[in-house]
Structure 1
Amino acid sequence: MRFMMLMLPGGYGDAAPDARPSAEAVEKMMQFNRSLQEAGVLLALDGLHPPASGARVTTVNGKVKVIDGPFAEAHEVIGGYWMIDVSSRDEAIAWASRCPLAPNETIEVRQVFEMADFPLDVQKAAEGFQDMQLSQAS
């Protein structure tokens, strides 16, 4: 089962566009990342720039609207993610529990949909999706 662990760093919604983690924080996180890798459960991981340097694209009355960050209404924002492949939700939570979190940081654990989770009509509508995933992995 694939799970995405989403890092929700406290205060990241208000971080300056050029904010970066300290070397000490990165070193602690790399120890955690290596443990995921050594256990053979890590599929992907990345950190994200602060929302102040991002943009949101929405539609309002059928028209595309772009809003540049920071986003005033954002209370919890994603600062990074890990994609892991484990045998259960409990195992994913156990891995998230080992992450070296700073005060007010949270990891949200969410299972990734597998094609078998959907009824046949949805699987048919998504024909070619798995080929897209495979082409991006190579």
Structure 2
Amino acid sequence: MRVMVLVKATTDSETGNMPTAELLEAMGKFNQQLAEAGILVTGEGLKPTSQGKRIAFDDASRTVRDGPFAATSELVAGFWLWQVKDMEEAIAWAKRCPNPMPGPSELEIRPLYEMEDFANLS
């Protein structure tokens, strides 16, 4: 099963504050453990939404909006894509993660659709 682990944004990530050397080292070690266990597919940090765009769709119409975007707690600051045997394994690995932000932060784990999810859609 593949899951996307989303690192939720905080005020620090949205203002572009870079992580400390200690946090970068801790996250590097965690990523290495994920890789050695065969869990890590990929993972990246995202720049603040002030550097992003949103495209709104309404039938044939497309509207581009510049960031920053509101509701920081609903934004994503980074992600991993993991290959795990089940949600319990994903949770166990997520609990081992160093706190990805200075202060309170949150991870969200979402399973990806797989081709077999669409097999019975006729």
- TM-score calculated relative to the size of structure 1: 0.77
Query: What are the within-5 Å matches in structure 2 for residues 98-109 of structure 1?
Result: 98-101=96-99, 102=101, 103-109=103-109
Number of residue pairs the alignment of both structures matches: 120
Q: 1:69 aligns with which of 59, 67, 70?
A: 67
Structure 2 counterpart SS, 1:59: strand
Aligned-partner Cα distance in 2 for 1:112–1:31: 25
Q: State whether residues 13 and 74 of structure 1, in contact with CA within 8 Å, keep that contact through their aligned partners in structure 2.
A: no
| RCO higher in structure (CA 8 A, sep ≥6) | 2
Q: Does 1:3 align with 2:3?
A: yes
CA shift, 1:13, in A, is 6.6
Alignment root-mean-square deviation, CA = 2.0
Q: Does 1:116 align with 2:116?
A: yes
Question: Taking structure 1 as reference, are residues 7 and 73 closer, same or farther at Cα in structure 2, changes over 3 Å only?
Answer: closer
CA–CA separation in structure 2 for the residues paired with 1:110 and 1:61: 28
CA distance, structure 1, for counterparts of residue 14 and residue 7 of structure 2: 15
Partners of 2:18 and 2:46 in 1: how far apart?
10
Segments of structure 1 that go 5 or more residues without pairing to the other structure are 123-138
Deviation, 1:100, is 0.6
What is the CA distance between 1:20 and its match in structure 2?
2.5
Higher mean C-alpha deviation, range 97-106 or range 49-58: 97-106
Cα 1:26–1:118, aligned 2, differ >3 Å: closer, same or farther?
Answer: same
Q: Is the 8 A contact 1:12 1:79 kept in 2?
A: no
How many angstroms does 1:121 deviate by?
Answer: 3.7
Shift of 1:40: 1.1
Residues 45-84 of structure 1 mapped to structure 2, 5 A cutoff: 45-60=43-58, 62-84=60-82
- Structure number with greater Rg is 1
For 2:59 and 2:71, the matched residues in 1 are separated by: 21
Percent identity between matched residues is 38
Kindly state the Cα deviation for residue 21 of structure 1 after the two structures are TM-superposed: 2.2
Quote the Cα distance in structure 2 between the aligned partners of 1:3 and 1:50.
Answer: 23
Higher fraction of strand = 2
